[in-house]
Structure 1
Amino acid sequence: MQKNNKLLRILSFFVIVGFLYIGLLQFKISQFSHLKASRNADYLIVLGARVNGVEPSLVLASRINAAAKYLKENKKTVVIASGGMGPGEDISEADAIKRELVKQGINESRILLEDRSTNTYENIKFSKRLLPLQEKSIVVVTSTFHLYRAISLAHFQGLSVDGLPAKTPWLAVFKSYSREYLAITKFYLERYLLGFS
């Protein structure tokens, strides 16, 4: 009986710690999900998400729409479409972003492609190579759930950026946030325990 009570107390402790940890992550995500992007940025980086064949997923479509709105209001901003091609994708995420932006009236001459990246770290790393060496104003466009980690990764790579949040579609909320909690945890482990840089 005592062993069972002790085990129950241990399990309860870990459950409570787990809920507190998830609450902390949600607080950090929420802090970044209401950011206001600075106007007339030199560069806008749109982070990729899943493409179904050649069609952007709901999450990616939301990011593209947010980017298109910004680009129409800020005529001199150049956009970097970032994202490689993964399983089940017939074109790269960058190509999908470019296609949809052009459909929404954004001139191709304003769009640069970064079509090699396979994750957020590489999105930032490879997009950074397309930027001029001198300091420029940069805005990263991604989903509300993703902005905290994206900006954190940019800062860790020496890139000073603002954030432009794109609404997370309701159908994608549970899956997206659940995966993001794990992704942030992985980021913390790599950065602070394994010396990831």
Structure 2
Amino acid sequence: MRKHPNLEYIIVLGAHVEGTRLTLALLERTRRALQYLEENPDTKAVLSGGKGEGEAITEAQAMCNYLTEHGITRDRLILEEKSTSTTENLRFSLALIGLDHSVGVVTNNFHVFRGTAIGRKCGCKEIYPIPSRYRSWRLLIYIPREILAIIKDKIMGNM
């Protein structure tokens, strides 16, 4: 796996929160973000994700809580709390920081291709995948769903 150290920003894509608890997919993304931020102390993170059904707080706030509880200072974290899709995650996050930065997209391994491709389509030239692992039987659902999402986003012009 290629490493991309010292990026100016990472964008951590949201996933469902159960009440205030990170689901496995979001926990793995947030753990990967924590690892990257610990290894790259000058990098800032955009935590991207609004509040959906069954969520007591935004996905961004849930990630922020985890990261600050694990030693990341709040001034390194930017919350994007309006998005409800991968395309909105990237569009809104890039609008907050601008397009002229080196950016990593942190998401689960099965999702990182689409996330990076959408970020590139949004106009970010220097964007890199930062995959987190995801091990669950749910991959049997998520991988076919991701393939359909790639086809849909290609048709819709999002990537």
Range class of TM-score, shorter chain: over 0.9
- Deviation of 1:68 after TM superposition, in Å, equals 0.1
TM-score where L is the length of structure 1 = 0.76
Q: Does 1:143 align with 2:108?
A: yes
Which of 51, 68, 78 is the matching residue for 1:85? 51
Structure of higher CA gyration radius? 1
1:93-104 correspondence to structure 2 within 5 Å: 93-104=59-70
1:172 — aligned with what? 138
2:26 — aligned with what? 60
Q: Tell me, what secondary structure is at the counterpart of 1:113?
A: strand
- Deviation of 1:132 after TM superposition, in Å, equals 4.0
Between the aligned partners of 1:37 and 1:56, the Cα distance in structure 2 is 26
Q: Does 1:117 align with 2:111?
A: no
- Deviation of 1:176 after TM superposition, in Å, equals 1.4
Question: Runs in 1 of length 4+ with deviation above 6 angstroms?
Answer: none
Q: Does 1:181 align with 2:144?
A: no
Between the aligned partners of 2:34 and 2:105, the Cα distance in structure 1 is 13
Between the aligned partners of 2:6 and 2:151, the Cα distance in structure 1 is 34
- Deviation of 1:94 after TM superposition, in Å, equals 0.4
Over aligned residues, Cα RMSD in angstroms?
1.4
**Quick check: 1:59–1:172 contact (8 Å CA) kept in 2?**
no
**Quick check: 1:94–1:115 contact (8 Å CA) kept in 2?**
yes
**Quick check: 1:37–1:139 contact (8 Å CA) kept in 2?**
no
TM-score where L is the length of structure 2 = 0.94
Which of 26, 33, 38 is the matching residue for 1:72? 38
Name the one with the larger strand percent: 2
Between the aligned partners of 1:122 and 1:151, the Cα distance in structure 2 is 13
Between the aligned partners of 1:120 and 1:37, the Cα distance in structure 2 is 23
Name the one with the larger helix percent: 1
Between the aligned partners of 1:53 and 1:143, the Cα distance in structure 2 is 21
Q: Structure 2 unaligned segments of length 5 or more: list them.
A: none
Q: Tell me, what secondary structure is at the counterpart of 1:80?
A: strand
2:119 — aligned with what? 154
Aligned residues: 158
